Structure 1
């Protein structure tokens, strides 16, 4: 019923996927990937896109088999009532942890760079209230806003990439594959793979697409854009800082600050901060919407909007409770998140597809 009321276009879906994934890739991915793959980290980013193709294929096949239904709804059809409920509870936990983590990342970033004297609670509360309002207004409003915000983000960000090229040193990415392919694969399946697999959000967004036939094209365009930007960011960061990249918390921000010092431009980091804030706002707004949808569909609540305020408050509590400090957060992103992401973003959807395909075989043989 909700999907029939709210609709988004193929272009809006493409922009949503792009902003959702690239927002957290912008500043943190280079250092995480360099930790594993060193100067070959850009190759890890390229290989990670393959996991995105798997996610797109899986979610679109399932959506075509169960049109108008989210992954929460067709899980019960495929696995049965109780196992389907377990999948729903698991995803509720996953999205709650994700929102809390992103909020903590965002708050730490803003308090470190812009508002060091502001209480953490005020920064987190202000951010989540805005995201909660967007989620309450619905996915159509978020998608329409994101169309403008993504264009704004790119208008800010692409000139930064061009300026970065001027300071880059290609010798920093040599020698290529000095330690073999294994570190590159580690960099691809660890942080990068986790980020690319976030295309599984199609499991909640596809029922709202006004032209389902455009799902594959819109998703592929978004994946190509994400891959190009991520590879460019990682490569340029390594070309400027080399081995130092893995020691930088916000590596690409450090690149932007370096450009401002070396060149004639000042306070360029304001542009990088703006792109981070825009991206995190869209990501958390979509995540709160999906979380509310999960809970409403699990308990049969007709209007997911009634759940947005309490779930936003719960996410605020989670952002203070989940990690003690920034070091724990970074450790989680580098080592725990990849496994959690693989299970929720790749393994569960693939298992659903396999089980559904096995169940459908006897039906075909009867016909």
Structure 2
């Protein structure tokens, strides 16, 4: 059954860019510098290859199974039972991802803006807004993202200009001082894990109104993500130096540093704005994917019937998933990179390989 809701090519590109780049701006420089140190900016290059792999696999699978999500065509590739098991795994994956995104948002807001507010308040307000957006449909999510993402960039680019006077290229030396291995660790672990998030194409491509342009717009989105992440990481290192890998929100410290050194103050308010808008876009898309995944696995005709109970379950999940920011940081550093690599890259690649083998066997038999 073909989806009746549709998003435009531009909306898909902006959704992909916002999904990957919206919240990692504050966390990714520190995570990459934790492994690659002053060479974290080099890690951006190989990490982009994982995003390229995700795009290639998802586009190829969507061409073989037009109009179907990864939940639907995995049952055709693996069979009903194995495909259903994979669908259940992806339901679990997205449920945990939304719970983690939500509590990450809450921890950030509490640490910077509302330290006395209960955690559940921050989680509840975000999830209510995201639930309303999902109930309205992917078209509304696309329009919201199309409007909010340029707004974030309008506020962010002046900060990039303000940083020019504070950068110190000497902080990048020695280049490859510890060899290539730390660079690859920074690329394949935190960098690659976040770039792999482009595998959301497996759920969004059936809703694209011009499927033939999917590859082009996805590559443009990846290029924009690469440029954005590269600028963020290299400027963070040139300003903070060795401190970059020791800070949970290193880019926030960059903004605060600009506020101290320059004529502007309290620039972290811009960071909060970027984070909140980015969290809304990311959680909305994830919640939409979770709802349609459940509806397709359990043959529920209208995914909107699931929005309210699933949103409530995600709120409960956000409360118990992590007790504090230290546990969250440990997860982002040590667990998510490997889990993300398997879930977002290796499993879709395995599906493509199995489908290709089945196709060759079928053709040889005929």
TM-score, with length taken from structure 2: 0.99
Structure 2 residue matching 1:4: 3-state secondary structure: coil
Q: What is the match of residue 251 of structure 1?
A: 250
What is residue 269 of structure 2 aligned with on the other side?
A: 270
Q: Which residue is equivalent to 1:237?
A: 236
| Range with bigger deviation, 61-70 or 261-270 | 261-270
Matched, 1:260 2:259: yes
Q: How many Å separate the matches in 2 of 1:224 and 1:214?
A: 16
Q: Name 1:123's counterpart in structure 2.
A: 122
Offset at residue 159 of structure 1 (A) = 1.0
* Structure 2 counterpart of 1:45: 44
- Name the structure 2 match of 1:169: 168
1:292 alignment partner in structure 2: 291
Tell me how far 1:366 sits from its aligned partner. Answer: 4.7
User: Would you say how many aligned residue pairs link Structure 1 and Structure 2?
Assistant: 366
- CA distance in 2 between counterparts of 1:90 and 1:24 reads 25
Matches within 5 A, 1:10-159: 10-159=9-158
Task: Give the secondary-structure state (helix, strand or coil) at the position aligned to 1:239.
Answer: helix
Give me the whole-angstrom Cα distance separating, in 2, the residues matched to 1:178 and 1:106: 35
Please identify, of 152-161 and 32-41, the stretch whose mean Cα deviation from structure 2 is larger.
152-161
Aligned to 2:281: 282
Give 3-state SS (helix, strand or coil) of 1:58's partner. helix
Secondary structure at the counterpart of residue 153 of structure 1: helix
The CA RMSD over aligned residues, in Å, is 0.9
- Structure 2 CA distance for aligned equivalents of residues 240 and 335 of structure 1: 26
**TM-score, normalisation: structure 1:** 0.98
Distance of 1:136 and 1:318 partners within structure 2: 20
Paired with 2:128 and 2:3, the residues of 1 have a C-alpha distance of: 27
The Cα of 1:165 is off from its aligned counterpart by 2.0
- Deviation at 1:50? 0.5
CA distance in 1, matches of 2:255, 2:148: 21
- Runs of 4+ residues deviating >3 angstroms: none
| Cα distance in structure 2, aligned partners of 1:319 and 1:166 | 40
Residue 325 of structure 1 deviates from its aligned partner by 1.2
| SS of structure 2 residue aligned to 1:305 | helix
Paired with 1:88 and 1:7, the residues of 2 have a C-alpha distance of 23
Residue matched to 2:207: 208
